[in-house]
A = this chain, B = another copy of it.
Amino acid sequence: MTERSPNPSTSDPGLLAAELRVAVMRTSRRLRAEAATGELSPGRYSVLAGLLASPQTVGQLAAREQIQAPSMTRIVNDLAAVGFISRGENPQDKRQVLVSITDQGSAALMRARSMRTAWLAQRVAALTPQDRATLHQAALILQEMSA
């Protein structure tokens, strides 16, 4: 690897967008399929991981995950039902629900992390350092673009 096509699509945003879209969609399907074994689905995992740093409101979580509030409510319900998160109040604004990760949730997150990234980590490990650097940069760019 590392040696790839020179520059066919870099100049045409439309062409690059098409190429990127296909790559992202196919990879996401693969990731979803590969992760189906664990106790935490990709979405749940991502939400839980987002709570490690600090508690968040349902709205904040929804915005971060690029989904609508009702979808996040369901995820929060499910995670609460198995004891991985807890709901708290914000005294300043009682409409809000402050979602926090529980110890049980942290444990599940750690347990899931190795399994969840196993497939991808394996592939990533097989790449050249240059390709890894490229993917790292790409991940940052994608995050910024979809934010």
Chain A positions within 8 Å of B, measured between CB atoms, are 1, 4-5, 7, 9-11, 13-14, 16-33, 42-43, 46, 49, 65-67, 113-114, 116-117, 120-125, 127, 129, 131-146
Contact = CB atoms under 8 A, between A and B. Distances in A.
Chain A binding surface, main DSSP class: helix
22 contacts: A7-B133, A9-B136, A10-B133, A10-B136, A13-B121, A14-B121, A16-B132, A18-B117, A20-B124, A21-B117, A21-B120, A22-B49, A23-B138, A23-B140, A24-B27, A26-B46, A26-B142, A26-B146, A29-B67, A123-B145, A124-B145, A138-B138
Contact of A22 (B20, B27, B46, B123): B46
Given A25-B46, A29-B65, A5 B140 contact: yes
A66 B120 contact: no
B132 A135 contact: no
Nearest to A33: B66
A1 B43 CA distance: 28
A129 to B, nearest CB: 7
Q: Which 3 A-B pairs have the closest CB atoms?
A: A138-B138, A28-B28, A13-B125
Which of A31, A33, A113, A146 has its CB near the most chain B CB atoms (within 10 A)? A146
